[in-house]
Amino acid sequence: MNNFMPDLVGAKSDKGPVRSANEDAYWVSHTETPTELGALYIVADGVGGQEAGDVAANKATEIISKAFYDHRQAGVEIEVALERAIRTANQVIFDLSQTRGGGKMGCTVVTAVVHNGYLYVAHVGDARAYFLMGDQLKRLTRDDTWVQKQVEANVLTPQEAANHELRNVVTQVLGNKEEIEVHLTHPVEIYSNDVFLLCSDGLHDPLNFQEIHQLLHGKSAQAAAEDLVQASINAKTHDNVTAVVVNVGQIPGKVRPTAAAAPVAGSRSGIPLWVIASLIVTVLVLLAILFFYVLPAFNAREDSAEATTVPEVAPSAEVVPVETDSPALLPAPTDVVTAVPEATATVAATATLEPLPSATLAATDTPPPDIVLARGCIRPDVFAFLWQDDQLASCSDTAVAETIIAAGQEVIILDTTSRSANEPGNCAVNSDFLNVQSADDTTLQGWVLESNIQLLSPGESCSP
């Protein structure tokens, strides 16, 4: 497929109604870009209150665009090339700040690459990426901000964070330190006429989710970019404002499924593998019940109805009639044939009915004593969000965990087989989860990120 169509790219940047200069910058692929290696787009936002934010933002777009294509031409995969390019820009800006007397200079950045039917996103800071697929808008990035950390710690709700006075305080940017964490979004499969937006916080701060959705939908890329910027200015944004909008155009053979059948953004399949596996197991269990209980029960009843000789019941046996509307749940009777003299025509038999088997295993709070479950500790540097089955099954970007397990706490790992799912609150990211129970409070049970758990060896305990 064609990664790049210049007529379907729009961009607009403005200093806004308050700032005296524009410290945002952007870079978009053009006709001379080797887009067969991936079509790259960048938005960078110079940090206000630091020296030369505009220099940092422009340097970031320059270095990232060059380094990315250098790595791609050397055969490096897209995600690795993006991360390396952003780290290179961070180091260049940091070194530049040292030559200018050590004063801090930095910027946030968000990047996107379209290649072979997938969208790749990487970012640092609070510049964002949004993805419009049909009528549904999703946010693909998670802010590096103080309020986002409070939301993740269950201190603030997403609504409180959106209106908090410290919502623009970022926790990491390019150029302030030599080590940074680059956030890579799981690749998103794209379909005909999907649209994505890269923007600075001067746009997403004054405009809510519904307004962004309305301004993106049903317009050309350039018109959408201009309308988004103007709407931010009309909403009295306090910062510079930048929007890069890209419509991926027509992709032969790829029409987005209807909402009911649409796959989750960021996943390669509409139905998670664990759901398919569960259905297969259920079918096998039902078949086992059919062959081991239903058919023998029916055969036994037919044999009893056709018999012309009344069997002699052994004195030690008692036949207890059972009334049931579900003969399929009855076990097959045990027939015991007793040898008798040839002169008799009767066959002595005992028909002993055992108690009905339970169709399901009774749930217990603790495992049987002969089963030793794995144990682990929540990593000392994190709070573990405890997600429930329904939250993993139907991921929501606005989901908030109602419970957390504190750092350093011991957990019982109920199943060492991890479950792959999209992260609630950031559905574009696919991660592995483990089903655990708090060792201190058996009512705390659910799914936590596998990366948040350190496994314990027998005899070990969590460090205080």
Residue scoring higher pLDDT (300 or 348): 300
The strand ranges marked E within 180-293 are: 183-189, 195-199, 241-247
Residue scoring higher pLDDT (83 or 426): 83
SS3 at position 385:
strand
Beta bridge partners of 119: 114, 188
* pLDDT attached to residue 117: 94
Instruction: Tell whether the model's pLDDT for residue 317 goes beyond 90.
Output: no
- Kindly report the number of other CB atoms within 10 A of residue 151's CB atom: 22
* pLDDT attached to residue 361: 38
14's CB contacts (< 8 A; 6+ apart) are 22, 229, 233, 240, 241, 242
Distance of alpha carbon 190 from alpha carbon 27, whole angstroms: 21
Distance of alpha carbon 196 from alpha carbon 356, whole angstroms: 59
Q: How far is CA 298 from CA 246, 309, 311, 320, 331, in A?
A: 65, 20, 19, 18, 10
Residue scoring higher pLDDT (87 or 363): 87
* Domains of the chain listed by start with CATH number: 6-254 (3.60.40.10), 298-354 (no CATH), 374-455 (2.30.30)
206 DSSP assignment: T
Residue 457 backbone dihedrals phi, psi, to 5 degrees: -85, 160
Per-residue pLDDT tens over the stretch 284-297: 878 877 766 666 66
* pLDDT attached to residue 298: 55
pLDDT band at 407 (very low <50, low <70, confident <90, very high): confident
Distance of alpha carbon 103 from alpha carbon 51, whole angstroms: 7
pLDDT band at 356 (very low <50, low <70, confident <90, very high): very low
Q: How far is CA 30 from CA 36, 37, 84, 334, in A?
A: 12, 13, 22, 81
pTM to 2 decimal places: 0.58
Q: What's the angle, vertex CA 11, arms to CA 8 and CA 13, rounded to 5?
A: 170
Distance of alpha carbon 279 from alpha carbon 264, whole angstroms: 19
Q: Half-sphere exposure of residue 140, counting CA atoms within 13 Å on the CB side? A: 32
SS3 at position 128:
strand
* pLDDT attached to residue 3: 87
Task: Give 3-state DSSP helix, strand, coil % of the chain, rounded to 5.
Answer: 30, 25, 45
Confirm if 395 and 423 have CB atoms less than 8 A apart: yes
Distance of alpha carbon 121 from alpha carbon 79, whole angstroms: 8
Per-residue pLDDT tens over the stretch 4-35: 898 999 999 999 999 999 999 999 999 999 99
Distance of alpha carbon 107 from alpha carbon 173, whole angstroms: 5
Average of per-residue pLDDT values in the chain: 80
Q: Which of 215, 186, 182 is nearest to 199 (CA)?
A: 215
Instruction: Tell whether the model's pLDDT for residue 377 goes beyond 60.
Output: yes
* pLDDT attached to residue 265: 39
Look at the alpha carbons of 439, 440, 443, 448 in this order and tell me if their dihedral is positive or negative. Answer: negative
Confirm if 385 and 416 have CB atoms less than 8 A apart: no
Beta bridge partners of 436: 413, 446
Q: Half-sphere exposure of residue 66, counting CA atoms within 13 Å on the CB side? A: 9
Q: What is the mean pLDDT of residues 234-261?
A: 87
Beta bridge partners of 138: 131
